[in-house]
Amino acid sequence: MEKTFAIVKPNAIKKSCIGKIIAMAEDAGLKVVAAKMHTLSTKEAAGFYAEHSARPFFASLTTFMTSGPVVLLVLEADNGVEKWRKLMGATDPAKAAPGTIRKLYGDSIEANSTHGSETLAAAQREIAFFFDK
Ligand code: CDP
Ligand code: MG
CATH of residue 119's domain is 3.30.70.141
- What domain count does the chain have? 1
Does the pTM of the predicted model rise above 0.95? yes
CA atoms in the 13 A half-sphere facing the CB of 74 = 18
Q: Tell me how far apart the alpha carbons of residues 19 and 60 are, in angstroms, rounded to a whole number.
A: 26
pLDDT tens-digit readout, 18-36: 999 999 999 999 999 999 9
Atom of ligand 1 lying closest to residue 118 CA? 3
Q: Tell me how far apart the alpha carbons of residues 95 and 52 are, in angstroms, rounded to a whole number.
A: 21
115, 117, 123, 130: which one is catalytic? 115
Residue of 110, 128, 126, 130 lying closest to 50 (CA atoms): 126
Q: Is 115 an annotated catalytic residue?
A: yes
User: In one letter, which amino acid is 24?
Assistant: M
Is the pLDDT reported for residue 133 higher than 90?
no
Whether 119 lines ligand 1, by a CB cut-off of 6 Å, is no
